[in-house]
Structures are given as C-alpha cells and as structure tokens.
Amino acid sequence: MLDAEFAAFLRKYVGLQLQAVAPSLSGVSDIDETCLRVAIERTNHCTSRIKGFEGPRFNHLNSGQYATFLYYLAHQLGASADKTDAARVFLLNKALNGIDLYYEVQMPDVFLIGHTVGMVFAKAAYGSGCIFHQGCTVGRNQNDRPLLGPGIIMYPHSSIIGRCHVRENTVLSPGVQLINTDTPGDCLVFPGEAGRPVFKPISEYYADRYLKR
C-alpha cells in the first residue's frame, strides 16, 4: 500500500470508528488530512525504533501502535485548534485501547506502549525512550507533577505520583508506587517496608531491551 493510499485508508478507517464511538451529529467524520499525515509520520518514526519492528509503516492492527497513532493524531488536532475532533479521537483511543492519554499531554517522539489496558498519563514531563506496560499510572498530586527522564521503564501496575524526579534508566518493578519520591537513576525500584521504595543499582540500560539505538 502506497503512502497516499495508506493515509486515505486511515482517514476513512478512523472516521468510521469515530462515528461508532463519538459520533458527529452531521453524520460525517472527516479528519483533517494534514494532521493525519503528521500523525502517521510521527508514529512511523516512533515505531521504527522498536526492536522487532519490520516494515515501512506502523501496523494499525497492533493495538499499541494504533494507540500511539491515535494519541499523535489527537495531539496534532489539538495543536491545530480543532479541539472537538481532538477530544473525539482521545475518546476513541480510550474506548478501543483502555488508555487515558489526553491530547494536551506532551509525549516524546519515541516511547513504547507495551500493553494499553489501564494506562493513565497525567500532564507530566516525559523523557525520550520511556517504556510503559499495562496498568501503569503517571499522576499528579494537587499541583505537583512528575518529571520522567529518558529510558524510564514502568512494569505492570506501577505508579509515579506527584513530586517525583525519576532519573534516567530507572526501572519500576511490577506494583511499585513512587509518591513524591525521587530516584537516583540507573536503578531497579522494588517495594520495601511500609511502602517505601528500595533502589538497587544497575549497569544495564534496560530500554535497550525494547528499543533500537
């Protein structure tokens, strides 16, 4: 499928899904073509860094890749002042993939959604090359928001909440909760006594397990 054909296909594909999930009263859901093409380019760039990825373009039938595309599309629509369609695409992503990633959140050019279900992303600062697994939460605590450095990995059902500076190459083990807590970086984080996290130094750059340099 040529690039122009793929873009035309996706425009129709997304439009039909929008009409089913967040319908327009006009009965038509024509997504802005420029925003669509930018979202395709950003998704192709992002997925090209994933280990095991083959092909010239992302796979719309891969839920993680499609969720990434819908985020970039919603974000681009929001940036172009089309707030209504941005919100509709956000709702579509939430309905299809169980992911809460609002279009105003600033995600980097490279990140990986391992499994989408139950993910929640606040308006935090996200470094490049972060890896997210199912059930993870990045949330604010009142006005305090996390800062995630590059190469952060959140394994299933881990959380980063509030005033946290999570430094580069921090790996949160399943179920760990960081609340108003910084990390030293280059570490594994495990749950300790009374909910206090325990940090174990590492030399391996864990994101390299998932992403190409």
In this prediction, residue 27 carries a pLDDT of 66
Cα(147)–Cα(126) distance, integer angstroms: 6
pLDDT per residue rounded down to tens, the chain (213 residues): 568 999 999 999 999 999 999 998 876 678 999 999 999 999 999 999 999 888 789 999 999 999 999 999 999 999 998 999 999 999 999 999 999 999 999 999 999 998 899 999 999 999 999 999 999 999 999 999 999 999 999 999 999 999 999 999 999 999 999 999 999 999 999 999 887 899 999 999 999 999 998
The CA–CA distances, whole Å, from 91 to 81, 101, 154, 166 equal 17, 9, 24, 29
Count other C-beta atoms under 10 Å from residue 48's C-beta.
Answer: 15
Cα(111)–Cα(126) distance, integer angstroms: 9
In this prediction, residue 30 carries a pLDDT of 85
Where along the chain do the CATH 2.160.10.10 domains lie?
111-209
In this prediction, residue 2 carries a pLDDT of 65
Scored b (16 or more CB within 10 A) or e, 15-32 reads eebbeebbeeeeeebebb
Question: What number of residues does the chain have?
Answer: 213
| Residue 41 neighbours by CB under 8 Å, 6+ apart | none
In this prediction, residue 159 carries a pLDDT of 98
Residue spans of beta strands (DSSP E) within 70-115: 99-101, 111-113
> β-strands 177-179, 130-132: how paired?
unpaired
Cα(4)–Cα(19) distance, integer angstroms: 23
Cα(120)–Cα(135) distance, integer angstroms: 8
The sign one gets for the Cα dihedral 138, 61, 25, 28 is: positive
Q: In CATH, what class is 111-209?
A: mainly beta
Q: What is the CB-side half-sphere exposure of residue 105 using CA atoms within 13 A?
A: 27
